[in-house]
Amino acid sequence: MAKAVSQVLTKVYNVLYEEEDDENSDSSDPPMLKLVTAPLSVAEEVERLFTSQLIDRETALPAALHSLGATTSEIEAAMQRGKDKDDKQCTCDDEDRAWQQTERKLSEKERSLNLEATKANTEKLKKEVKGMVKPSGGSDDPDDS
């Protein structure tokens, strides 16, 4: 319905102002009028739909701003800011994931090195203990008698 109204408004405008445009025009396309409607007239409804994740930001932001009386250029600027913010957030999330992955790898390597060091220390202690303990077969110690 809005498209039909836009077409009628455009034709009426072009017929009414055709003569003035002919004098000042440089053979460009005739102006187009567009009827902008607000299917959701209350910002609170938009907020609830967005909060419940029934609509995304690309749908909610223009509807909410339009219901508040924002112009098309203001809505487009807000959409661009939202897109820029999302892009920045994605970049930060990617960097965080890369850092966490690097941190995990380093942690695994550290645990592996600690395990190897523990095994080496255990083997060293076993050798030292074997050297300290004497066989109990024929003891020369006077306290054993």
Q: What's residue 96's pLDDT?
A: 86
10 near 33, Cβ under 8 Å? yes
At 2-53, the pLDDT tens digits run 678 878 888 888 888 876 655 555 556 777 777 666 554 567 788 888 889 8
Report how far Cα 134 is from the mean position of its chain's Cα atoms: 68
Mean of pLDDT values over 95-120: 91
Q: Which long-range contacts (CB under 8 A, 24 or more apart) does 45-52 make?
A: none
Is the per-residue pLDDT at 56 higher than 50?
Answer: yes
Rounded alpha-carbon distances, angstroms, from residue 19 to 4, 14, 35, 104? 24, 9, 24, 73
Q: What's residue 118's pLDDT?
A: 92
pLDDT category at 126 given cuts 50, 70, 90 is: confident
35 near 11, Cβ under 8 Å? no
